[in-house]
Amino acid sequence: MITNDSKQDTILILGGDGYLGWSLGLAFAHRTDDNIVLVDNLIKRKWEKEVDAKLLLPIKKPKTRIAEYKRIYGKDNLSFEKVELLEQEDVAKVIRKYRPTVIINAAQQPSAPFSMMSPKHTAITFSNNILGHLNVLWSIAQIDKSISYIKLGTAGCYMDTDTDFVPLGKKNFTFTHQGKQHNILNSFIPMQATDFYHQSKISDFLIDDLCASLWGLKVMTVQQSTVFGATIEENQAPEHAGLSARFNYDAVFSTVLNRFVCQLAIGHPITVYGDGKQKTGLISLSDTVDNFMRFAKTDIKPGKHMVVHNYTMRLSIDEIAQKMVEIDPKIKVDYIRNPRNEGSGKLQKKVQVHKLVKEPMAKKDENLKKELSNLLTFTKRYKDNIDPSIIMPKVEWSVEQKLNEAKEAQSLSTYRTYLKGKLTGRLISTTPKS
């Protein structure tokens, strides 16, 4: 457990009602004497209802969970503010009120499938992730440039970049065009996404770099890999269930390992998209929280955009599935058609590691085993809440596939209407309305 005995600071955690945001707030509050303020507009709860993304364990409203924290730990350093990040004046108001030393921004629409559902969902993703982010940066620049701003990014920025090395900072590059060699100086590696969520995060990253340089801000982007796990030390015990983080296991908002463990818990086949050769970075929720506690105490230089790749290991989806088979040899692995557009590059990526994350990486195998055990215990404890119908993918990346499915659905609906008419002795018109 990471602890801090330095002077009391105030830390704003944006997205404090979320899976990671709540976990960060709980850990910072319990393990330090800092004043921790959770900030959220609670929109994720609405999105979850929209896509029928049930939680493994229903969670109470933030203020109820904070009251539970005070009851259990006897501390009064955790609070909540409902704030709309899309309203710049509201963002500035909460920053002026608390004068934080650090702002951690984990407020995002976090789902690639959600971003690919429709034009509306793409617009929601870009608005929420980019405009809210800009409002925070503008507010810091106008109110207090000494604030350290830690922005949750994503390793998915490099998803479709076929490279054998991902550096932390800017580098010099050479390329050949029509037989001549050309140079690019002091630039980040090109980033390419395969969905709109990750494209929004590429924009976030570049905005961080621009604003750090433009306004002399202290900015860190944490290129976060896939998080797995349900609990941290503060909410692991069954009697601390009232402090649980939101835990999604559906195909829209869940992460892959969390979803696989829920399938394992109920004896559902492990569903691998495609051949499972696509690789992802992984890090446990506990290691992520510990690392963010280090990040928050890091001296970020004004005008310097600091980048950290937050992961402990890289595994293919099939390798993750085989971890489930090792736990239960009777479990079946199904390879289903991949609804996503995921690149299959020729090169094996090596990702440069920052010194701040080397400690958990050194214990990655031990930590994986421990966290998997904790995750299995949690999911089995609440396995009766699992609804298998929401696990399978229902969002297609392909527009053509979406159109074909819409046509099939309309044809099926028309046929059912026809049958209903025959059964009731009257023929109902099956002509679609214009």
Contact present, 9 and 148 (Cβ < 8 Å): no
- pLDDT at residue 335, rounded to an integer: 96
User: Strand, coil or helix: what is 351?
Assistant: strand
Question: 418 pLDDT band (50/70/90 cuts)?
Answer: very low
Percent of the chain having pLDDT more than 90?
Answer: 83
**2 has pLDDT over 80:** no
Please name every residue paired with 14 in a beta bridge, in sequence order, or none if there are none. Answer: 39, 105
Q: Between 1.20.140.10, 3.40.1710.10, 3.90.1150.10, 3.40.50.720, what CATH number should domain 10-246+280-314+352-380 receive? A: 3.40.50.720
Segment 202-231 mean pLDDT? 97
Q: What residue has token string 């969670």?
A: 59
- Specify the amino acid at residue 1: M
Question: Is 389's pLDDT higher than 70?
Answer: yes
> pLDDT tier at 295 (50, 70, 90 boundaries)?
very high
* Residue in this structure with the two tokens 């060699």, named with its chain if needed: 181
Note whether 128 and 196 are within 8 A (CB): no
Model pLDDT for residues 325-383, shown as the tens digit of each residue: 999 999 999 999 999 887 677 888 899 999 999 888 888 888 899 999 999 999 999 99
Residue 347, pLDDT score:
87
Planar angle of CA 211, 212, 213, nearest 5 degrees: 90
Closest to 28 measured CA to CA, from 244, 269, 291: 291
Q: Which of 28, 7, 4, 10 is nearest to 146 (CA)?
A: 10
**What pLDDT does 407 receive?**
59
- Sign of torsion, CA 89 91 94 95? negative
Q: What is the pTM of this model?
A: 0.90
Digit-coded pLDDT (tens) for 60-99: 999 999 999 999 999 999 999 999 999 999 999 999 999 9
> What's the CA gap between 376 and 386, in Å, rounded?
13
- If one compares 352 and 126, the residue with the highest pLDDT of the two is 126
Go through 82-121 and write b for each residue having 16 or more CB atoms within 10 A of its CB, e for each that does not.
Answer: ebebeebebbbebbeebebbbbbbbbbbbbbbbbbbeeeb
Has residue 432 got a pLDDT over 80?
no
What share of the chain in percent tops pLDDT 70?
90
Average of per-residue pLDDT across 193-217: 97
Number of Cβ atoms within 10 Å of the Cβ of 392: 13
Pairwise CA distance, residues 411 & 389, whole Å: 23
Q: Look at residue 424 in the predicted model and tell me its pLDDT.
A: 43
Q: Can you say whether the dihedral through the CA atoms of 6, 10, 12, 13 is positive or negative?
A: positive
Q: Residue ranges of the domains in the chain? A: 10-246+280-314+352-380, 399-434
- Residue type present at position 358: K
CA angle 13, 198, 340 (to 5 degrees): 130
| CB atoms inside a 10 Å sphere around CB 138 | 15
Q: What is the pLDDT of residue 43?
A: 97
CA 2, CA 61: separation in Å to the nearest integer?
27
In whole angstroms, give the CA distance from residue 297 to residue 275: 42
Q: Is pLDDT at 422 greater than 60 in this prediction?
A: no
